[in-house]
Amino acid sequence: MQNGYKRNFEPLRILSQSQVEQLHSSTLQVLDEIGFKYESEKVLKLLEKHGCRVDHENRIARIPPDLVEWAIAKTPSSFMVRARDPEKSIRLGGNTVYFMNSAGARYADVDTGEVTMPTLEQNNEGVVVSDALESVHCFPSYTPYFEIGGVPPVMSCPVSCAQRMRFSTKPSRGAQPTDSFIWETKLAQAVGAQLMGCVEGAAPLSLAEDPCNAAFYYLDAGFPIYIASGSLMGASHPITIAGATVSHNAELLAIIVMLQCIKPGCGVIANNFVSAMNMQTGDLNFGTAAISLHQMAYNQIWHDHYKIPINNTGAAFSNSKMIDYQTAAEKLPLAMCSAISGANLIVLHGGVTGELAYNPILAVIDDDIARTIGRMLESFDVTDDMIGLDVIRQVGVGGTFLNTKQTRTLWRSEDYMPKVFDKTSYQEWVAGGKKTILDKAKERTEEILSTHKPDPLTDEQEKDVESILKEATKYYKEKGLI
């Protein structure tokens, strides 16, 4: 199993206990009074059986507080996601922090900033690089690219999933649109892995039919579920951080109520993906203070109060079109705040230009960022050995610690030395050709691509994967979607 990083200190709490209670009781009030729209009669009937007041005409279920509390209590505080290679499985929850790859619609040229449709080869290389990166523990769906040249749009999710199964042994999240969950479930099962099934709401306060269907399908396969309800503060959520926290809580808890009614005790990780809005263009603003405050408040409520595993997506993207200072300035503070405030999973590696583009070279740089954060989370030991009074005594006044066994044996574990950050002296930098972080990340990417060979599928697994993709193509052709 991948161990991730252990947060060896109490998470940062930015809310008082009474504020947590006020936000939670407001959430219960929203679900009880306004309710939540489920675009599935099957779900509505199930919820009605569990005590919800259902308006079938408008497909709205009003959820009583005791049912919400029951669903929270039923949701386990941690669960396992089995990977194709059992050593790459992950256990989400508690004080463990993992990182998930980010994604983009297009391939970003890191030198020009131009974006192009990725080829299948570029897609596969992106997967291979992330498979090699120690701090990428799992993948979301349609990753690293939403689109792949030559692949019909409706086949994007199944093909993307198949390529991750082929070129990585790490766990993945499934997708939900246009019945893609059928094929992704079959693909995962063919290689002996679980997926985190995806059930994503539509803010404010609704869940379309596809995710309802996906929920039944993924749960029936015995997969845990990754829930989300992406939204924009000021548009699909209130502009206030407190209001958006209540709205977001209500949406995710409404989905959890549905999941626990379908399969009590099922594992769920709840994603926070609430963005700020550019009030000039309506586009998403990434890396802002409001997003980070929202995530920290959310983490405190879900980690401390609900005890349900949580994911944060705020650090996944930057609005910068290039890999530059802005990229780091928008991603790093959010990732750090997520890590110290209770997140179990943080989406980070490789996303540039909003959600528009991706490049594995940025994933390589983000690997250093994630591992630095991971090292900080693990904190340090305070023991007689680690204080080492005898060493301090031995060096005395005016000596050096450089020649001690303590320094020689512990310097690697006491700190993390980034692989692509420039740590040379000025003279070394000039003599080495004035390499930038991008130059070094490109070199490391090339090195990974020439040396890292992910464990291939067996012949039988490969045959099954190919057959499932053919079956999916036939299915969508018959539906007139290809």
Question: Which residues of the chain form contacts with other proteins (CB under 8 A)?
Answer: 105, 146-147, 152-154, 156-157, 177-178, 180, 202, 206, 208, 210, 232, 234-236, 277, 279-282, 355-356, 480-481
Tokens of 253: 């808890």
Q: Are 73 and 257 in contact (CB under 8 A)?
A: no
- Distance in angstroms (rounded) separating the CA atoms of residues 443 and 432: 13
Which residue bears the tokens 């093909």?
159
Nearer to other proteins, 157 or 370 (CB): 157
Between 153 and 333, name the residue whose CB sits nearer to other proteins.
153
Based on CB atoms, which residue is closest to other proteins, 219 or 232? 232
Please identify, using beta-carbon distances, which residue of 78 and 473 lies nearer to other proteins: 473
CB of 70 to other proteins, least distance (A): 28
Give me 407's structure tokens: 């320094």
Residue closer to other proteins by CB (options 146, 226) is 146
Tokens of residue 285, six digits: 């603003």
Supply the minimum distance, in Å, between the C-beta of residue 355 and other proteins. 8
| Angle at the Cα of 270 from the Cα atoms of 269 and 274, rounded to 5 degrees | 150
Our CB check for other proteins shows the closer of 11 and 204 to be 204
The C-alpha angle 39, 218, 35, rounded to 5 degrees, equals 30
Q: Which amino acid is at 166?
A: R
**Alpha carbon of 437 to those of 364, 431, 443, 450: distances in Å?**
10, 16, 10, 20
* Cα distance between the two ends of the chain: 39
Sheet holding 115-116, edge to edge: 115-116, 106-108, 357-358, 351-352
Phi first, then psi, for residue 137 (nearest 5°) are -95, -25
Other CB atoms within a 10 A radius of the CB of residue 41 amount to 13
The Cα 161–Cα 152 span in angstroms is: 14
Least separation in angstroms between residue 173's CB and other proteins is 15
Nearer to other proteins, 140 or 342 (CB): 140
Joined together, the tokens standing for residue 310 give: 């949580």
The alpha carbon of residue 241 and the mean position of all alpha carbons in its chain are separated, in whole angstroms, by: 21
Instruction: Convert 206-237 to b/e letters by CB count within 10 Å (16 or more is b).
Output: bbbebbbbbbbbbbebebbbbbbbbbbbbebb
A 10 A CB-CB count for 307 gives: 15
**Closest CB 421 distance from other proteins, rounded Å:** 33
Do the Cβ atoms of 147 and 105 come closer than 8 Å?
yes
Please name the amino acid found at residue 43.
V
Write down the least CB distance from residue 203 to other proteins, Å: 9
Minimal distance in Å, beta carbon 130 to other proteins?
Answer: 20
Contact 254, 215 (CB under 8 A): no
Of 177 and 350, nearer to other proteins (C-beta) is 177
Closest to other proteins by CB, 31 or 105: 105
Residue where the block lists tokens 């993945």: 172
Residue closer to other proteins (CB basis): 201 or 374? 201
Query: How far, in whole angstroms, is CA 229 from its chain's centroid?
Result: 13
On whether the CB atoms of residues 31 and 62 are closer than 8 A, the answer is yes
Please say which residue, 281 or 403, places its beta carbon nearer to other proteins. 281
Quote the CA–CA distance of 363 and 355 in Å, as a whole number.
14
Q: Which strand (E) or helix (H) includes residue 162? A: helix 156-167
